[in-house]
Amino acid sequence: MKHFFNSTLIAAMLAASLQSAAAEKIIVDTRKPGAEISPTMYGLFFEDINYAADGGLYAEMIKNRSFEFTDPLMGWDAFGKFEIKSDGPFERNPHYIRLEYPGHPHKRSGLQNEGFFGVSVKENENYQFSVWARCDDSRNSKIEVSLVKPDMDENFQAVAKATIEITSAEWTRYTVTLTPSMNVSDGLLRIMLRSENPVELEHISLFPEDTWQNRPGGLRRDLAEKLDSLHPGIFRFPGGCIVEGTDLDSRYQWKNSVGQVENRPVNENRWHYTFDHRYFPDYFQSYGLGFFEFFQLSEDIGAEPLPVLSVGLACQFQNSDESAHVSPDSLKPYIDDALDLIEFANGPVTSTWGKLRAEMGHPEPFGLKYIGIGNEQWDEPYVIRLRQFVDAIRSRYPDIKIVGSSGPSPEGKRFDYLWPQMKELKVDLVDEHFYSPESWFLAQGTRYDGYDRKGPKVFAGEYACHGKGKKFNHFNAALLEAAFMTGLERNADIVEMATYAPLFAHVKGWQWRPDLIWFDNEKSVATSSYHVQKMYADNRGTNVLQTTMAGHPVAGLEGQNGIFSSAVTDKRTGQYIIKVVNTSSEPQPLEIELKGLPKGTHQVKAITLQSSDPDADNTIDNPYLITPAESQFAFENQLLSTTIPASTFTVYIVQ
Ligand code: AHR
């Protein structure tokens, strides 16, 4: 995150600090640190929606690389003499293309791929092209691979080119490095047959050499870095609705997402047709970013992995008929999937699934502690099925924490039915989802104050403020999320984790807004909501401090003028950290008293997120419009007097 020293902001704050008459007073008691804040408190929820995986975090640049989309040539233009065949070397992805000599030296056989919203490459960077290929009998074949840029005259110009000699009639992987001579944002990958002998090609792939952790075939660096920079405590994957599928056939099946990447069967992505107004017929899941990679990423960024599996219910929004789901007495394969997943993550290398993990390059266990069963499920059909999973997991893996669902809404009939059921089933955490308007967020400051402390913990697993009539990213939504999060923090004894949703969106391929991080093929941008998440995660602290205004929690209650606040101490650093959100459109005189702070002067670093335009947000073209600004204050004899500007979220860090 960039911190700018904003002198105007500081001057305004200092000037205003002189006028403390009629100030609201927040009292923070440092003397008795309260509940511990779970290291998992602020985390990430990843779902392959908005081209978050293929076309996004997964750095593969070729769409439909295995010719396995419903139309095997989707994303490709094939020309000359070609044929799609289906007896290839990878049994779960059997299609490939055969190119033959077109009959005249001036004719061409070949194919070109449009990538994800274009193939975008950078000048002088290296790109790894690979292909599985074979020639007929022992006569070599030759292909020419090029990155082409449609130029101003609509000619096609090769910015990188290489020739590959195919020397074996056995399927063999060939690789070459392409280094473009110029930037191209909407290019193509083209392959031409350059021999009279035919050639057969399968799993045609192109990755930047520069990936997260420099892993070949890995993740897009800028996107992974944005995740890492949030220091997430928990990483929930792979969804969301894609866990359930539109029908059971299209549900996410983790076993299909591990092992050799070429043999992971392509799955449709339910988001390709979920919204007519955002219809993307070319949205499939290659599973190149699969469960192994999710575990690895969790480890890289220091987050506890939280996989979510199907409970045997297809999306209940789309399937009201019981016959669409697995009958409760046929759940065994689904339960086995859950048990096998735990073995894949944690089992010894001598176990079936632990062995696969080791073969994939990670003999050490991933240390899985949590598993989610079902996404947004509801009513009795869920409870009946979940019970079987709970029994099976408890008896084999009693230490694994199970996350159950409270349905798709944060209140109402389904929610009220499920919470007691989750208690009865003794799940460890209950996942709550809320995509709600401003009024809802403003009214939820004390949501968790009255929750039963003896039951399961809360996982606020999907949330975002969806402004009324404003389903796009904007500052005011982020501000209200910050306000709401004071209530999560104050209730850290019951709220164990929270994740904003969705995480990623491609500017040309989104289905759902708002989102935390936007990107195109070249750049990415952190939204205001991202900065809010980061300000919390960077300043998580270790223990809650009691924070009150006239004896009440500071939660935007009547008479509190839209102020929300929470505070923590960090026992590791000795810091006190106070978060204050002014949701009103007026500046407000404010005093903060830190009871128990030794008398004298204590320096305070303040980090403030502010925008004068509530509808504005950062964009790809203007990525730093709204960024946190740093300023300095001091507590004099336990007291800080200031005026908090309108519509601001400030974190005060007291040494
Ligand atoms: O985050 C987008 C979707 O919202 C998720 O897939 C689903 O769980 C919820 O309905």
Of 405, 381, 250, 373, residue with least CA distance to 328: 381
Residue nearest to atom 8 of ligand 1 (CA): 240
The dihedrals phi and psi of 137, each to the nearest 5 degrees, come to 35, -135
- How many Cβ atoms from other residues are within 10 Å of residue 314's Cβ? 21
Report the b/e string of 557-584 with b at 16+ CB within 10 A.
beebebbbbbbbbbeeeebbbbbbbbbb
Give the atom of ligand 1 at the shortest distance from the alpha carbon of 45.
1
Let me know: does 644 contact 631? Beta carbons within 8 Å.
no
As a whole number, mean pLDDT of residues 507-511 equals 98
The dihedrals phi and psi of 359, each to the nearest 5 degrees, come to -65, -30
- Residues with a known catalytic role: 376
Cα dihedral 430, 435, 438, 442, rounded to 10, equals 0
User: From the CB of 502, is ligand 1 less than 6 Å away?
Assistant: yes
Q: Given a cut of 70, is residue 79 above it in pLDDT? A: yes
Give the atom of ligand 1 at the shortest distance from the alpha carbon of 239.
6
Q: Is the dihedral of CA 207, 212, 215, 219 positive or negative?
A: negative
Q: Given a cut of 60, is residue 68 above it in pLDDT? A: yes
What's the CA gap between 290 and 288, in Å, rounded? 6
What's the CA gap between 243 and 264, in Å, rounded? 17
Let me know: does 614 contact 474? Beta carbons within 8 Å.
yes
- Reduced to 3 states, what is the DSSP secondary structure of residue 293? helix
The string of DSSP letters for 156-221 reads EEEEEEEEEEE--SS-EEEEEEE--SS-EEEEEEEEEE-SSS-EEEEEEEEEES-BGGG-TT-BBH
Residue nearest to atom 7 of ligand 1 (CA): 240
The string of DSSP letters for 11-65 reads HHHHHHHT--TT-EEEEEE-SS--SBPPTTSEEEE--S-TTSTBTTTB----TTT
The dihedrals phi and psi of 416, each to the nearest 5 degrees, come to -65, -30
Q: Tell me the Ramachandran region of residue 124: left when phi exceeds 0, alpha when psi lies from -120 to 50, beta otherwise.
A: left
pLDDT of residue 511: 98
What single DSSP character describes residue 265?
P
Of 316, 307, 314, 367, residue with least CA distance to 338: 307
pLDDT of residue 12: 40
What's the CA gap between 290 and 238, in Å, rounded? 8
Cα 433 to middle of ligand 1, angstroms: 8
Over the stretch 317-361, which tens digit does the pLDDT of each residue have? 999 999 999 999 999 999 999 999 999 999 999 999 999 999 999
Residue nearest to atom 1 of ligand 1 (CA): 502
> Mean pLDDT over all residues of the chain?
95
Q: Given a cut of 80, is residue 111 above it in pLDDT? A: yes
Residue nearest to atom 2 of ligand 1 (CA): 502
User: From the CB of 47, is ligand 1 less than 6 Å away?
Assistant: yes
- Residues whose CB falls within 8 Å of the CB of residue 572, separated by 6 or more in sequence, listed in order: 542
- Can you read off the two tokens belonging to residue 269? 């992505």
User: From the CB of 512, is ligand 1 less than 6 Å away?
Assistant: yes
User: From the CB of 375, is ligand 1 less than 6 Å away?
Assistant: yes
User: From the CB of 515, is ligand 1 less than 6 Å away?
Assistant: no
- Can you read off the two tokens belonging to residue 237? 């994957």
Cα 237 to middle of ligand 1, angstroms: 12
Q: What's the whole-model pTM score?
A: 0.95
pLDDT of residue 153: 61
As a whole number, mean pLDDT of residues 402-430 equals 98
Name the percent of the chain lying above pLDDT 70.
96
Cα 310 to middle of ligand 1, angstroms: 14
CA distances from 277 to 336, 474, 645 (A): 38, 21, 40
User: From the CB of 462, is ligand 1 less than 6 Å away?
Assistant: yes
Residue nearest to atom 5 of ligand 1 (CA): 240
What's the CA gap between 342 and 255, in Å, rounded? 12
Over the stretch 236-285, which tens digit does the pLDDT of each residue have? 999 999 999 999 999 999 999 999 999 999 999 999 999 999 999 999 99
As a whole number, mean pLDDT of residues 486-501 equals 98
Give the atom of ligand 1 at the shortest distance from the alpha carbon of 435.
4
Q: Given a cut of 90, is residue 529 above it in pLDDT? A: yes
What's the CA gap between 14 and 643, in Å, rounded? 8
pLDDT of residue 7: 39
What's the CA gap between 205 and 174, in Å, rounded? 11
User: From the CB of 461, is ligand 1 less than 6 Å away?
Assistant: no
pLDDT of residue 639: 97
- Residues whose CB falls within 8 Å of the CB of residue 90, separated by 6 or more in sequence, listed in order: 66, 202, 203, 260, 262, 263
Residue nearest to atom 4 of ligand 1 (CA): 240
Q: Tokens 């293929």 correspond to what residue?
A: 54
Compute the radius of gyration of the chain from its Cα atoms: 27
Cα 241 to middle of ligand 1, angstroms: 5
User: From the CB of 232, is ligand 1 less than 6 Å away?
Assistant: no
What's the CA gap between 241 and 398, in Å, rounded? 27
- Reduced to 3 states, what is the DSSP secondary structure of residue 237? strand
Residue whose CB lies within 8 A of the most ligand 1 atoms, among 246, 310, 382, 433, for a mutation test? 433
Q: What confidence category does residue 13 fall into, taking pLDDT thresholds of 50, 70 and 90?
A: very low
Cα 165 to middle of ligand 1, angstroms: 47
What's the CA gap between 52 and 238, in Å, rounded? 11
pLDDT of residue 137: 84
The dihedrals phi and psi of 624, each to the nearest 5 degrees, come to -115, 25
As a whole number, mean pLDDT of residues 33-62 equals 98
Over the stretch 156-169, which tens digit does the pLDDT of each residue have? 689 999 999 999 99
CA distances from 337 to 113, 291, 292, 373, 631 (A): 35, 12, 15, 11, 52
Residue whose CB lies within 8 A of the most ligand 1 atoms, among 44, 49, 309, for a mutation test? 49
Residue whose CB lies within 8 A of the most ligand 1 atoms, among 285, 466, 512, for a mutation test? 512
As a whole number, mean pLDDT of residues 175-194 equals 96
As a whole number, mean pLDDT of residues 290-312 equals 98
The string of DSSP letters for 485-499 reads HHHHHHTTTTEEEEE
Cα 167 to middle of ligand 1, angstroms: 48
User: From the CB of 238, is ligand 1 less than 6 Å away?
Assistant: no
What's the CA gap between 593 and 20, in Å, rounded? 13
Rounded to the nearest 10 degrees, the angle between the axes of helix 379-396 and helix 332-346 is 40
